[in-house]
């Protein structure tokens, strides 16, 4: 029986996030440059069968949860096949997906039948004009349609991911909180992370999530901490009295949560990343089909995983102990 994936600090890993593409139909200002990026050639991307092989090996080491990410995963024409491939691997108990929602309405039912259990939908604003400003393209109405289709397909819980941006969408915090009270949706506010671009642009837009609790304190309902909503991982969850949903805070910078990290990341071109922030990655793709070699690489990832990501030091100007990644968020699959 293989040993579980345990790093040098005693953290057991049971969660693998798989990016299936670096391409996206949006250009969100916190994720990708306005001009876009040079996307990977299709021949470099992992196939559904390759993902099946990697997940099967990982499951024997204790991986139980899979999250499919991008880029935007729904731009993959074989996304339903991919979901079915990873969901059918023996030992996998939960498969979820993060999407911008633009293509979800037409795919929600098929994804559910393929074995997808939960969806996270990115939604940074409720204002159509501001949506285009943040995403630099797209249509908010299509995201709303995608949320409705996810509910009709039976996905639960449905989480909305809102990256908080200073001076851009912080005025909508109350609107998102009200949504969590009125609808069975789980709104998660996320701090803007300096992945691949810790520059002055990031610093000027970064806002700590203490702001959310300040706004919540002015709402007409009392609120309290609640047990984690299923699959929330590092989210700190709250609920208003009488609410249909909940709201959560994911604050990797102002309140680092690395001590409980249980996840690894697989890039679309087949690199295993022990940490989202650092440059370290191990190339898996050439060893697909060789379970022993894949097992060795997973254990190597445990051996090199650092204690924390040190993103906060970028705000204070402190020297970092490792080298940050130069991949953007869309190229990793946060």
Domains of the chain and CATH, by start: 15-332 (3.20.20.70)
pLDDT tens for residues 232-257?
Answer: 467 899 999 999 999 999 876 655 56
Q: Tell me the DSSP string of 282-305.
A: EE-GGGTT-HHHHHHHHHHHHHH-
What residues of the chain score a pLDDT lower than 70?
Answer: 36, 194-200, 202, 229-233, 252-257, 309-331, 334
- Give me the percent of the chain exceeding a pLDDT of 70: 86
Comparing CA positions, the residue from 92, 95, 89 lying closest to residue 73 is: 95
CB distance 169 to 134 below 8 Å = yes
pTM: 0.90
pLDDT at 334: 65
User: Is residue 270 classed exposed, middle or buried when 0-12, 13-18 and 19+ CB atoms within 10 A define those classes?
Assistant: buried
CB distance 173 to 189 below 8 Å = yes
CA within 13 Å, CB half, 253: 24
pLDDT tens for residues 168-219?
Answer: 999 999 999 999 999 999 999 998 876 655 556 767 888 888 999 999 999 9
How far is the C-alpha of 31 from the C-alpha of 36, rounded, in Å?
10
pLDDT at 307: 83
Residues near 298 by beta carbon (within 8 Å), at least 6 away in sequence: 5, 57, 58, 61, 264, 272
């Amino acid at each position: 029986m293989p040993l579980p994936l345990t790093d040098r600090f005693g953290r057991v890993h049971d969660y693998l996030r798989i990016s299936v593409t670096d391409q996206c139909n949006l250009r969100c200002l916190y994720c990708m440059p306005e001009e876009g990026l040079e996307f990977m050639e299709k021949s470099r991307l992992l196939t559904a069968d390759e993902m099946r092989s990697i997940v099967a090996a990982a499951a024997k080491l204790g991986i139980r949860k899979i999250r499919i990410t991008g880029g935007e995963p729904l731009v993959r024409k074989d996304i339903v096949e991919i979901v079915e491939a990873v969901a059918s691997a023996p030992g996998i108990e939960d498969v979820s997906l993060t999407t911008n929602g633009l293509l979800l309405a037409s795919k929600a039912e098929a994804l559910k039948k393929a074995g997808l259990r939960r969806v996270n939908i990115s939604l940074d604003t409720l204002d159509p004009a501001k949506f285009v400003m943040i995403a630099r393209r797209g249509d908010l109405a299509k995201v709303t349609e995608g949320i409705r289709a996810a509910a009709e397909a039976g996905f639960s819980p449905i989480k909305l991911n809102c990256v908080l941006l200073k001076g851009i969408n912080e005025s909508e915090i109350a609107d998102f909180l009200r949504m969590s009270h009125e609808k069975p949706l789980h709104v998660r506010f996320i701090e803007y992370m300096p992945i691949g671009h810790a520059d002055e642009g990031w610093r000027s837009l970064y806002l700590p999530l203490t702001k959310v609790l300040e706004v919540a304190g002015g709402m007409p309902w009392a609120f309290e901490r609640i047990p984690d909503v299923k699959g929330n991982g590092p989210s700190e969850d709250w609920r208003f009295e009488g609410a249909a949903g909940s709201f959560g805070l994911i604050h990797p910078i102002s309140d680092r949560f690395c001590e409980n990290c249980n996840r690894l990341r697989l890039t679309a071109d087949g690199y295993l990343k022990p940490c989202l922030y650092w440059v370290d990655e191990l190339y898996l793709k050439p060893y697909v089909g060789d379970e022993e070699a894949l097992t060795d690489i997973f254990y190597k990832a445990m051996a090199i995983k650092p204690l924390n990501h040190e993103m906060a030091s970028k705000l204070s100007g402190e020297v970092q102990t490792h080298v940050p990644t130069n991949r953007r968020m869309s190229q990793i699959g946060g």
